[in-house]
């Protein structure tokens, strides 16, 4: 538990990213599986990002009401970058190359 807290502290960003991406791969239950079910992703985000990226809790709230059923690798891997840029106060670039899930999150944020 202590080691998990150390890794999730982002004191070593590369170790944090490596562990975060490892968790996605570890939770692939079936050979060839390429997505993580939404409930599993929500649980992992609450464990891995609640302290380091407070905006992750808004993303979790968005996911809970979303009709999406899964999170793919690209969506999972880019969340750290998305959260970091939003928490720095950077504007979300709707014309950027973000996954469409992030566009939906951005629209939800504007309404809520």
Distances (CA, A) of 83 to 2, 45, 51, 76: 24, 12, 12, 11
For residue 32, what pLDDT is reported? 83
User: For the segment 57-112, what is each residue's pLDDT rounded down to a tens digit?
Assistant: 999 999 999 999 999 999 999 999 999 999 999 999 888 888 999 999 999 999 98
Q: For the chain, what's the residue count?
A: 112
Q: Dihedral (C-alpha) 6, 8, 13, 16: value to the nearest 10 degrees?
A: 100
Distances (CA, A) of 99 to 9, 15, 28, 74: 26, 24, 20, 7
CB 17 within 8 A of CB 80: yes
Token couple for 91: 């504007």
């Amino acid at each position: 538990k202590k080691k998990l807290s150390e890794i999730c502290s982002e004191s070593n960003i590369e170790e944090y990213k490596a562990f975060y991406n490892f968790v996605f791969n570890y939770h692939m239950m079936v050979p060839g599986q390429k997505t993580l079910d939404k409930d599993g992703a929500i649980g992992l985000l609450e464990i891995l990002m609640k302290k380091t990226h407070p905006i992750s809790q808004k993303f979790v709230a968005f996911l809970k009401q979303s009709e999406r059923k899964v999170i793919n690798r690209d969506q999972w891997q880019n969340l750290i970058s998305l959260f970091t840029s939003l928490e720095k106060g950077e504007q979300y670039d709707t014309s950027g190359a973000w996954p469409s899930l992030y566009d939906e999150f951005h629209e939800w944020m504007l309404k809520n």
